[in-house]
Amino acid sequence: MGALLEDPYRAQTHPQPCTDTPWPGVECELSNSNQPIFHVTKIHIGPDIVFPFQPCKPSAYLSQSLMKLKYIKTLSIFDCFGASPVILPKTLFGPFTSLEHLALENNPSLCGDIPTSLGGVTGLRLQLLQKLDLHSNMLSGNIPPDIGKLKPPSLGNNSLSGQVPPNLGSLPSLDQQNISHNKLSGVLELPGDFIQKLGKMLDLRGNSELCISDQSKKKNLSSYLEIPSCLNTRQRNDNNYFAGTVATQVHVHHGQKIYMSSYLPWF
């Protein structure tokens, strides 16, 4: 916790964080073994309805010690990492076999790719995960294909690029999927019936290079999803190309050649 919070006296004021002097934002559970061992099962940093607000320190970072908490069920860090860049470690989620609730939200300098280890966590594929929220950070790179095996993600307001993984359409749950306001591109390959079932709970707005197939069944969903059809996108790109064409003309004046460049507008 010292990597996140500006509270040097926390260990003194909470000498028994799992029993008599609990740490705000931390919960523990007693193990099932013969020895009375407590395991940390929840870490929450930020506003919460149960615990008081625990602000992050300006130099907050993700410590490698987090990976030792293999019994953790809830990890939520809100409104943190606002100064220097904090890269999401590629192996961060590997040990979390019991994770049920993952929320890293509104962290302006949390950057890097979404770790592919997230889709490979055994516990997350055994119907344990109830929430996956990574919105409003500065995450980049592609959306991992295996993320479609998990709970519908909230990935809006990042800098994610590439295509939308088609297997997102295989999720059995019809919860909200928010991947709006990123830099996603290409043809949306999600099944039309999946899009219709999800309705407005599928948010793809704000991805200017993303388009939907020109097939008649999907083309009708263009205005519904607020993304253009691929045909309109191609026409727009063609128009932009011609709009930027520079025509060079050669004139002869008093025996001299004068080269004149003119911008050809497109209306």
The residue to which tokens 């295996």 are assigned? 146
- Name the pLDDT band for 252 (thresholds 50, 70, 90): very low
When pLDDT is averaged across residues 140-168 and rounded to a whole number, the result is: 86
Where along the chain do its domains lie?
A: 9-162
Which architecture, in CATH terms, is 9-162?
Alpha-Beta Horseshoe (3.80)
In the chain, % of residues over pLDDT 90: 19
Extract the tokens encoding 205: 């707005």
Q: Read off the pLDDT of residues 38-93 as tens digits, 9 standing for 90 and up.
A: 889 998 887 664 555 567 878 888 888 888 888 888 889 988 888 789 998 887 77
Task: Indicate left, alpha or beta for 181 from its phi (over 0: left) and psi (-120 to 50: alpha).
Answer: left
Q: Is the predicted pLDDT of residue 109 greater than 80, yes or no?
A: yes
Higher pLDDT, 218 or 225: 225
- Name the pLDDT band for 4 (thresholds 50, 70, 90): confident
Give the range among 45-49, 88-92, 199-203, 208-212 with minimum mean pLDDT.
45-49
When pLDDT is averaged across residues 109-128 and rounded to a whole number, the result is: 72
CB 145 within 8 A of CB 173: no
When pLDDT is averaged across residues 12-37 and rounded to a whole number, the result is: 79
CB 150 within 8 A of CB 118: yes
Q: How far apart are CA 225 and CA 27, in angstroms?
A: 41
In the chain, the DSSP E strands lie at 26-30, 38-45, 74-78, 86-87, 101-105, 110-113, 131-133, 138-141, 159-162, 177-178, 183-188, 202-203, 209-212, 246-253, 256-263
Q: Read off the pLDDT of residues 87-107 as tens digits, 9 standing for 90 and up.
A: 988 877 777 878 888 899 999
Average pLDDT value for the chain: 76
